[in-house]
A and B are shown apart, each in its own frame.
Chain A
Amino acid sequence: MMDFSAIVPALPGLWDGLLMTLQLMVMGVLGGVVLGTLLALMRLSHNRLLATIAATYVNYFRSIPLLLVITWFYFAVPFILRWITGEDTPVGAFASCLVAFVMFEAAYFCEIVRAGIQAIPRGQMGAAQALGMSYGQTMRLIILPQAFRKMTPLLLQQSIILFQDTSLVYTVGLMDFLNAARSRGDIIGQPHEFLIFAGLVYFTISFAAAQVVKLLQKRLAV
Chain B
Amino acid sequence: MISIKNVNKWYGSFQVLTDCSTEVKKGEVVVVCGPSGSGKSTLIKCVNALEPFQQGDIVVDNTSIADPRTNLPKLRSRVGMVFQHFELFPHLSISENLTIAQVKVLGRSKDEAIEKGLKLLDRVGLLAHANKHPGQLSGGQQQRVAIARALAMDPVVMLFDEPTSALDPEMVNEVLDVMVQLAQEGMTMMCVTHEMGFARKVADRVIFMDAGQIVEDCPKQAFFGDVSQRSERAQQFLAKILQH
Q: Could you tell me the distance between the alpha carbons of A137 and B76 in the complex, rounded to whole angstroms? A: 14
Q: Could you tell me the distance between the alpha carbons of A131 and B76 in the complex, rounded to whole angstroms? A: 6
- Is B50 touching A132 in the complex (CB atoms < 8 A)? no
Does A191 touch B at the CB level, under 8 Å?
A: no
Does B194 touch A at the CB level, under 8 Å?
A: no
Given contacts A123-B85, A124-B89, 14 further A-B contacts (CB under 8 A): A127-B88, A127-B89, A128-B101, A129-B50, A129-B73, A130-B50, A130-B83, A131-B76, A132-B73, A132-B101, A133-B101, A137-B104, A137-B105, A141-B104
Does A171 touch B at the CB level, under 8 Å?
A: no
Q: Could you tell me the distance between the alpha carbons of A130 and B146 in the complex, rounded to whole angstroms? A: 12
B residues less than 8 Å from A121 (CB atoms): 85, 87
Q: Could you tell me the distance between the alpha carbons of A134 and B100 in the complex, rounded to whole angstroms? A: 13
> In angstroms, how far is the closest chain B Cβ from the Cβ of A221?
13
- Is A129 touching B76 in the complex (CB atoms < 8 A)? yes
B window 29-44: CB within 8 A of A: none
Interface residues of A (CB under 8 A from B): 121, 123-124, 126-134, 137, 141-142, 145-146, 149
Q: Beyond A124-B87, A124-B89, A149-B91, is A130–B81 a contact (Cβ under 8 Å)? A: yes
Question: What's the A-B contact tally at a CB cutoff of 8 Å?
Answer: 61
- Is B83 touching A132 in the complex (CB atoms < 8 A)? no
- Is B104 touching A133 in the complex (CB atoms < 8 A)? yes
Query: What is the interface of chain A mostly: helix, strand, loop, or mixed?
Result: helix
Q: Beyond A126-B50, A129-B50, A141-B100, is A134–B73 a contact (Cβ under 8 Å)? A: yes
- Is B89 touching A130 in the complex (CB atoms < 8 A)? no
Does B205 touch A at the CB level, under 8 Å?
A: no
Q: Beyond A141-B100, A141-B104, A146-B91, is A131–B85 a contact (Cβ under 8 Å)? A: no
> In angstroms, how far is the closest chain A Cβ from the Cβ of B139?
14
Q: Which 9 A-B pairs have the closest CB atoms?
A: A132-B77, A127-B87, A131-B101, A130-B81, A132-B105, A123-B87, A132-B76, A132-B73, A134-B73
Q: 29 A-B pairs, CB-CB below 8 angstroms? A: A121-B85, A121-B87, A123-B83, A123-B87, A126-B50, A126-B87, A127-B87, A127-B88, A127-B89, A129-B50, A130-B76, A130-B79, A130-B83, A131-B77, A131-B100, A131-B101, A132-B73, A132-B76, A133-B101, A133-B105, A137-B104, A137-B105, A141-B100, A141-B104, A142-B89, A145-B91, A146-B90, A146-B91, A149-B91
